[in-house]
A and B are shown apart, each in its own frame.
Chain A
């Protein structure tokens, strides 16, 4: 049915809404939307006009296992309706042990950028599946996608990469969007599963955890734009990443490490560094006097690994510090390089709006630069993921190296 809400310029407006209880009914409702001759709107209380164009540049399938996740995703997608018109299918499971059922809400959101512009519309299908049907994601999504348009699967939460349901759904997708920094535990087993999926498929993967770090990458890369510093890039000795944790022990496994590990993965892949020794717990430091403090356990020293460029070894340290920032947030990246007796030390830190780079050459500070780069919202990150075309070689390499750094996987997810 058409809705009679007054139109707002430049914002997605709900222009059609219907319910269905089977995939066939959903398909039928979708046809009805665009066949409806009376799909008109009112502007200024009098002018009536037809919807000018149904617009889709892609299919977006969102797998939201929990209702609150589905709501959050819907809000993000809503903000992108005008920017990236797509057919969106949000799939949410409910009552997995009960009988199979399906309840779908079909909506058309339209946007009128200016009074004199054509109105463009896109559809959202919100499907809640109960019982067994909720486990067959591909069977729900496949009939609902617009053929010949790219398919992006956004899987917030904890995607079970090795499950048959995920395998089937992702087999028909072009791009997978996840946020590795929200995964439970340290997130590294799932990271390895995702790397395995990347290695055995043509799927392009956008991980918000990696995309968020673009401001760090820009800042770190800028150091070596300087011709004086560039030769040191091939003589790296040490990479140290410091991350924040709220766990007073900083114990291995208690904080999501996906973001800190991606920093090392990115550097390793760009510099063609191979893993000699994968990440392992660093020996715990004993407080002076040789005895642990009575009431407060010593913070773990983090993880260490060894990389190699074929000529020499590069030490890796990933260490926690107590911080009020969200756990797993990167606080500092340090690089140490030595070349022909000369030393280059770089220290990169980030705040909400800026990234700060400082460089010392043989102990003398030679660069102090700020980069203006605000942390990005989920809307921006999703937009960037959607806008990406094929596989991004930087992302592919960073994920592959990050997984190798973690060590042989055991398919824990």
Chain B
């Protein structure tokens, strides 16, 4: 207002609009990232081999990476460029989304792979890294643009970032050379460590340079959730407390902890899934429409949702259920209990299942519970968001056989990505029987096209400087401020009586009671 008043009085002119590249209009999908080097820390690790490098290869072979591109993998193993390339070829033959490898595509991609042996705690090594990057710029025309991708142990994030800063690799150059850092989850293991990590990263990089990656946000159906909500006129008017009875979000896994016993013992379902994937899905379902489809507008709305989630400690005890699987059968195979898994303490209390009832205290959702659950060794792999609508206000057909269930909208994220709407219909015949039927949209039958892997989407976005699908520092901290009290309450509560669910079942009985208390039940898959 002050600016406007001063402008009217002729004392201040309105700020000139920045000049835009109007030739870019309408070319978003065709934009190729700037010439750049991806510097991959943890270049010989599992994540690099299974996800990051296959994603880069796929982007390369579909011409979505610039001609002036280099991948510089950093690791401790004594490789040279040639041995590393041979390793990558083997990894791609196992993990590439499109097989067999395209010889021409692989050949040109291989020429753009380099390897640097480096101990992450060796300051001199980072000087070598800086010199190597300068040499790559000179040789390959990558123009000082660098994406530092931290695919390492989380405990090494702060140290690597600090060393990058110490040798000046964070500085964006005056001739337009950008520097960005991608950090893999987990972003801390509680609120305090998350704040410390954010502070450590913030000492070196500006927030706009930081891309915290939660691969769930790159999944096609998660992105489609935004299109579904804000690109269709008919759903948004009924997306609120007036019509919605409750929301259920399930992230179910049939697998156990595989070979990650040591990691999982330190993490549990709350840190592994609830703090990130589940709360991200809650915020995408509950957020208000952003003013623009830009990173900060989107993330501002998500943060508002997280801030509005009630965090009364008394609620925590009452509204959260944890569990741990015992031995059982999954998909006709006998599987051990969690405590019998390798690298797991036989007396472990780590939760492999968590369910929670969240209330969002805002105008749209006041009084509408959001039930979320995630677990290992559940009967099947399924990720779904279910919007359960209210019953009709007057039950007109109550005397006519079976009453239809209330309407339900289910958004399946995996597998069989799609959207299902359940409604009542008359059974053909002379009577007036009403049954629930479904309208089912599956991506697989409407679009027979392979969706890009989430890592392809997110790495391309990071190279293009689009942070919409990345998590901002305040989002991370808000999510921890919801999950921290839950974990803390378990520290002071009596030891749980675990295992409390059999592998191959839908979690402990207490999870069912969480909904039964409200007169509701979990959806069965």
Contacts and interface: CB of A to CB of B under 8 A. Distances in A.
A57 B25 contact: no
B1 interface: no
B238 interface: no
Interface in A59-99: 82-85
B446 interface: yes
Contacts of A228: 175-176
B444 A371 contact: no
B22 A222 contact: no
A225 B19 contact: no
Among B63, B67, B447, B448, which residue has the most Cβ atoms of chain A within 10 A? B448
B interface: dominant SS: loop
- Among B26, B27, B446, which residue has the most Cβ atoms of chain A within 10 A? B26
Given A233-B22, A371-B32, A372-B63, A394 B27 contact: yes
B323 to A, nearest CB: 31
A224 interface: yes
Given A85-B448, A226-B176, A227-B176, A270 B22 contact: yes
Nearest to B108: A372
B141 interface: yes
Contacts of A370: 67-68
A392 interface: yes
Contacts of A49: none
A368 B141 contact: yes
B21 A55 contact: no
B66 interface: yes
B448 to A, nearest CB: 4
Contacts of A226: 176
B449 interface: yes
B35 interface: yes
Interface stretch (A24-32, A112-120, A162-170, A197-205): A112-120
B444 A217 contact: no
B63 A120 contact: no
A229 to B, nearest CB: 9
A217 B31 CA distance: 10
A111 interface: yes
B445 A55 contact: yes
Interface residues of B, number: 28
Contacts of A214: 27, 30
A322 interface: no
B254 to A, nearest CB: 16
A220 interface: yes
B23 interface: yes
Residue among A52, A113, A372 with the highest chain B CB neighbour number at 10 A: A372
A392 B26 CA distance: 8
Contact of A117 (B30, B63, B444): B444
Contact of B26 (A83, A85, A113, A393): A393
B445 A120 contact: yes
A57 B26 contact: no
A50 interface: no
A234 interface: yes
Interface residues of A, number: 43
Contacts of A9: none
A82 B446 CA distance: 9
B24 interface: yes
Interface string B394-429: 000000000000000000000000000000000000
A61 to B, nearest CB: 20
B384 interface: no
B34, B175, B445, most chain A CB atoms within 10 A: B445
Nearest to A227: B176
A228 B448 CA distance: 44
A372 B112 CA distance: 14
A120 B443 CA distance: 11
A371 B27 contact: no
A222 B25 contact: no
A218 interface: yes
Contacts of B444: 113, 117-118, 120
Given A218-B32, A226-B176, A370-B67, A85 B446 contact: yes
B31 A230 contact: no
Nearest to A85: B448
A368 B67 CA distance: 11
Contact of B35 (A227, A233, A369, A394): A369
Contacts of A368: 141
B448 A224 contact: no
B333 to A, nearest CB: 18
Nearest to A267: B23
A233 B31 CA distance: 18
A146 interface: no
Interface string A392-407: 1110000000000000
A214 B63 CA distance: 13
Contact of A83 (B65, B66, B68, B448): B448
A118 B440 CA distance: 13
A234 B19 contact: yes
A120 B448 contact: yes
B172 to A, nearest CB: 12
Nearest to B29: A214
Contacts of B66: 369, 371-372
Contacts of A393: 25-26
Most buried by A among B22, B31, B175: B22
B19 A231 contact: yes
Nearest to A121: B445
A221 B27 contact: yes
A77 B176 CA distance: 45
A52, A82, A368, A369: which has the most chain B beta carbons within 10 Å? A369
A353 to B, nearest CB: 9
A225 B34 contact: yes
Nearest to A366: B175
A271 B22 contact: yes
A364 B67 CA distance: 22
Contact of B68 (A215, A369, A374): A369
A392 B66 CA distance: 25
B428 to A, nearest CB: 17
Contacts of A118: 442, 444-445
A373 interface: yes
A264 B300 CA distance: 41
A226 B35 CA distance: 12
Nearest to A119: B445
Interface of A: 52-53, 55, 57, 82-85, 111, 113, 117-118, 120, 214-215, 217-218, 220-222, 224-228, 230-231, 233-234, 267, 270-271, 354, 368-374, 392-394
26 contacts: A55-B446, A82-B448, A84-B447, A120-B448, A214-B27, A217-B23, A217-B27, A218-B27, A218-B31, A221-B21, A221-B27, A227-B176, A228-B176, A230-B19, A233-B22, A233-B23, A267-B23, A270-B22, A271-B22, A369-B66, A369-B67, A372-B32, A372-B67, A393-B25, A393-B26, A394-B27
Q: Nearest 7 CB-CB pairs, A to B?
A: A394-B26, A221-B23, A370-B67, A82-B448, A120-B445, A224-B21, A218-B30
Given A369-B68, A372-B63, 4 more contacts: A85-B445, A220-B23, A230-B19, A271-B23
